[in-house]
A and B are shown apart, each in its own frame.
Chain A
Amino acid sequence: MEDREIITPDRIWKPSEALSPRVRRLREEYFSPEKRPYFRNEVMPFTTGTPWDEVFSPINWGVVPEMYPFMEAYRESLKVLARRVDLPDGFWEKSLVLRRALFFREVCRRYLPVRILEGELVVGGHFNTALSKCHNRKEARAWRRAVRKWWRKAQEINQLGLGNAGAIPGHIIPDYPRVLREGFSGIYRDLQQRMERAGDEEKRQFYQALMVCCEAARDLAHRYAEEAGRLAKEEADPVRAEELKEISRICRKVPWEPAETFHEAVQSLWFTHMLVMAAESYPGAGLSHGRFDQYMYPYYRGDLEEGRLDRERAKEILRCFWIKHNYAYDYQSRVLTNQGINSGFGQLMTLGGTGPLGEDASNELTWLILEVIEEMNMLEPKPNVRLHAGTPEELLRRVAGMIARAQGSPFLLNFDENAIRGLAWQGLPRERLWDYAPVGCLENTLQGDDRSGTVDVNVNLAKAVELTFFSGRDQLTGKKIGPNTPPVEKIATWDEFRDAFRAQLLAVLDRVIEVSDAADAIRSRFEPTPYLSAIVGGCAEKARDVTAGGPRFNYITVEGIAFATAADSLTAVKKLVYEEGRVRMADLKKALEDNFEGHESLRLTLVHKAPKYGNDDDYADEVAAWLHRLWTTDVIRRVSPATGRRYRSGYLSWNYWIAYAPSTAATPDGRRRGTFLSNAICPVDGAARNGPTAVTLSVGKLGLETAPNGASHTISFSPSMLRDAEHVEKLMAFLRAYGEKGGTALQVNVIDAETLKEAQRRPEEYRNLLVRVTGYNAYFVMLGKEIQDEIIARESHGL
């Protein structure tokens, strides 16, 4: 009994009425960039002032094809706008990494604006930067040459629809707990000892660079301490004056010294976190907190026991902390809507999960944070709940209840057993796996010492289908871009067809990974980030920068795009051409060539007469599993020569399922050129007709451990399916079963197409409507029309 009831605006998840006036004001202030000319966290470029200086790094944006046309403009205009920084004496005699550190420290000490917003309890606002690469003339020339070469290839693979690759900042969980525990002063002392022991000058300068960055964090915090002190003196309201004095005291202390109270820990964490974004000149994307409820718990507990803090005050501090993260989006506050870019970040925060013995690790703070999430209704930080066999029933009920009420998935749900199986397959040490956490959208890594380069490489798997049909020739440009496999109409058996497909797919991987190798080489040689190196485990021990293989664990992740489109295409060929002989290969080739024009009957046959992935149909799922294994087990054999980082795979596909739709020819699943490709690990839109359990089993059958990054899976439920406690119980059981039989990560949308259409008609009333796009949430009414329509189409199919 389908009951399609529109969710009225009053039932949309929105910020709690109970929020304090302080938080309501801060929240509103964030959402009104036009009303705060006094504070916009927009990109501030800083230069050394040399004529050859660069402040923008195209390789950092290599996976954002919609920026490609503007890449030169960004690079040039930021250079023109850049403020010149007075360089310390002897600057140019230092090594590149030390120059970068000194420059960063100067910016923190004298140039980053310091502003405390009215009422906020956690401070630190301006962090969007475009920092000089600090190259000397020779380095600049070499960098330019290498970037130019990379850029040519990057554009080429993107235009051909093969994919994209870059060296992407963020997407890491730094060792924040260490900063809380030891303070930057502790890290500084450790580095000092290492420096004293180091033999060669290069290493000494490396350690010195990291130490300089520790000082930078201290010095910026002290400027906030000054500012808070100044404001306290001017403040008429005695309560606020006390708060400002306390803020001043805290900023004087952390992040340099170890944090001792909850408020200190939150402030220390925020400074440390925002400075990563400043140091990498990359706002927010994927820079993640890891298991926040675990490492913050001792501070919370301690304060409660000492009577320094009550629950409500802790929440108030957290709410202020929450708003801060959203300022990462300010760099586009004047652009607003675009192809989902306005929300494609993910400062992921992990809750729940297991302890070292597999026991449940959730605590009071977990529950407190869930309240904050529910009350705030904001994009960032993006919460993630780790579920496992031992997740307590009450916690699961709380999480499922929030999902049922919140339309767009309020959480990324991670399934520990499945995620951990992948990380073990990848070869990470087993004794560390219980403590993993995802970054960005859903990419699983270890905490504190693992840079897995998630989203650095994105490969369009469906493109290999096109190349198989045309012996390596791209249909749009006529260019020969793949190996010379036999003319498809001459391929007599399914096995030979598979061989041809394999050859084409591996060539696509070669081509895209070559672009990644080049980006990785450029970054590791020319773009050190010593601040981040200071707080990522392994860099100090190896005396290597985080960009150059310094972290204890180094990988680059290849994300597969259009998986289901490719799988369904292969299935259709196997079934209809080779098994049933219902379709002749020559006719199919001609139909693809003609984009199905004049071949509608054949197109419909492909759509309706071949099984489709996502229906728990063993025939289709077996082909899909073959495809999955084929490319993921090839990827793990590859290594980036410059840094020795090994490649691994995952399924994310951000918005590429739209971007590469026009550059992927018609496919044998009946899709025309331009129709969107499939998203992440999800079935093709409309192809899955057997409901959420069937699609779960299909995903589970793939053997996802060979994609250790994890696989983005979105399922939608209509609101009526979760209308009351009884149905929420069914969702809980569904999630338990998903952990047993499904994939690594799930997002649940509770929405129907009618509500979304209503939101399109009356956007002002649906401002708070969050929907899950792929690995990330977005305010629906802020998305571009094209993506809106795509989401509506997806919900219309009920999956």
Chain B
Amino acid sequence: MAFEGSRGESSPGEDSVQGIVFNVQRYSTEDGPGIRTTVFLKGCPMSCPWCHNPEGMDPRPELVWYEARCVGVRECLRVCPREALTLTPEGMVIARDRCDACGACVEACPAAALEVIGRKVSAILLAEEAARDETFFRRSGGGVTLSGGEPALQAAFCLALMEILAKKRIPVALDTCGGVAWSKLEPLARRADLVLYDLKVMDEAKHREYTGVSLSLVLDNAVRIAELGVPMWVRTPVIPGYTEDVENIRAVARFIRENLPTVERFDLLAFNNTCRDKYRRLDRIFPLAGQGLLERTKMEALVEAARQEGVESVCWSGAVAGK
């Protein structure tokens, strides 16, 4: 399941570790302090039904088609070496069992209607790209955030990336779901200047049901990171019907207070439903497609509840219903 960073054949050595990255987002203001560049790595051990980055789930590159851009020149069909594409009146059908995301169709399409989500890139090149906003990082106390997906699934790649960035004196934050073996997570956590740590549901059965991963692993890893003395920001997605109840939020807050002394803040991230199209393009089903946004008052109440449990710095962000 885990997708390891593979070594490039042409240029051996630590710097040529390759990874699969699906986005490099600049002026990212929601993934840690200051102005950041967030690197999204492909592949995740969890499969949360509310995931708003579904393109991060599968470790392999995936082809997507943008209906609005397609002008119907059919070059893609002609060049596809595996005959994986069919243009039907309902839209493009991608035979995912045949498509290996080679990108021939992407190159051939003049309209940029096809895209391979996830590109293979060496750590050294990616570090260069991620470091371009260095001045903005320095001015804002920002840096690079490794997110995903789950970065620890590409541990070797991330480690190489972190080493290069450290040489450039660029702070790196690790955004992890915690659902990976400690042996993978530890080296990254040790190198990180900050860990953004997701705690979702504080009930073992529910956690397994929703994410496919054991809660105890996640909690154990959290405690170990705190023991390393690395500063942490805990983040909880507030999802209607899953994680939203006040007792769950209180439980997360209590866990923070009792077990995670290095936590600097606790962020509550309101559910958002803007990812519907992403699911459709990946031929995945978004289980929460019909779910509306939360109320502002609800988020404020949860923040208050978390504070009552003794966590000082609690924030919420995200889209809410109404004005």
Contacts and interface: CB of A to CB of B under 8 A. Distances in A.
A729 B34 CA distance: 8
Nearest to B52: A1
Interface stretch (A132-140, A198-206, A652-660, A736-744): A736-744
Given A1-B317, A1-B319, A733 B71 contact: no
A730 B110 contact: no
Instruction: State the main secondary structure of chain B at its contact with A.
Output: loop
B73 A693 contact: no
A734 B111 contact: no
Contact of B26 (A600, A605, A694, A721): A694
A600 B75 CA distance: 14
A601 B140 CA distance: 43
B111 A604 contact: yes
Contacts of B142: 730, 733
Contacts of A737: 35, 135-136, 138-140
B139 A736 contact: yes
A24 B171 CA distance: 51
Given A733-B35, A733-B141, A741 B27 contact: no
Contacts of A2: 274
B133 A693 contact: yes
Given A600-B71, A733-B136, A6 B323 contact: yes
Given A1-B272, A604-B71, A604-B110, A692 B27 contact: yes
A767 to B, nearest CB: 19
Nearest to A608: B112
Interface string B240-282: 0000000000000000000000000000010010100000000
A306 interface: no
Contact of A8 (B34, B136, B323): B323
A33 interface: no
Contact of A741 (B25, B52, B135): B135
A312 interface: no
Contact of A691 (B27, B34, B317): B27
A693 B30 contact: no
A727 interface: yes
B272 A693 contact: no
B71 A734 contact: no
A693 B110 contact: no
B49 interface: no
B323 A693 contact: no
Interface string B81-110: 000000000000000000000000000001
Interface in A572-628: 600-602, 604-605, 607-609, 616
B160 to A, nearest CB: 23
A690 interface: yes
Interface in A662-707: 690-694, 697
B301 to A, nearest CB: 18
Contacts of B30: 1
Contacts of A730: 29, 34-35, 140, 142
Given A1-B318, A609-B110, A730-B34, A693 B139 contact: no
B132 interface: yes
Contact of B319 (A3, A600, A741): A3
Interface in A259-284: none
A693 B112 CA distance: 24
B111 A693 contact: no
Nearest to B24: A690
Given A604-B110, A693-B35, A727-B29, A733 B139 contact: yes
Contacts of B274: 2
Nearest to A742: B135
Contacts of B269: 1
Contacts of B27: 691-694, 734
Contacts of B138: 737
Nearest to A602: B110
Interface in A1-24: 1-6, 8
A484 B272 CA distance: 59
Contacts of A690: 26
Contacts of B29: 721, 727, 730
Interface in A735-777: 736-737, 740-741
Given A3-B319, A608-B111, A740-B135, A734 B140 contact: yes
A641 B110 CA distance: 51
A607 B30 CA distance: 31
A691 B26 contact: yes
A5 B319 CA distance: 8
A697 B132 contact: yes
Contacts of B73: 601
Contacts of A736: 139
Given A616-B132, A693-B27, A605 B110 contact: yes
Contacts of B110: 601-602, 604-605, 608-609
17 contacts: A3-B272, A3-B319, A5-B319, A601-B71, A604-B110, A608-B112, A609-B110, A691-B27, A693-B132, A697-B133, A721-B29, A733-B140, A733-B142, A737-B136, A737-B139, A737-B140, A741-B135
Given A730-B34, A730-B142, 13 more contacts: A1-B317, A1-B318, A601-B110, A604-B71, A691-B27, A693-B26, A693-B35, A693-B136, A697-B133, A729-B140, A730-B35, A733-B141, A733-B142
7 closest A-B pairs (Cβ-Cβ)? A733-B140, A604-B110, A691-B27, A608-B112, A605-B110, A733-B139, A737-B139
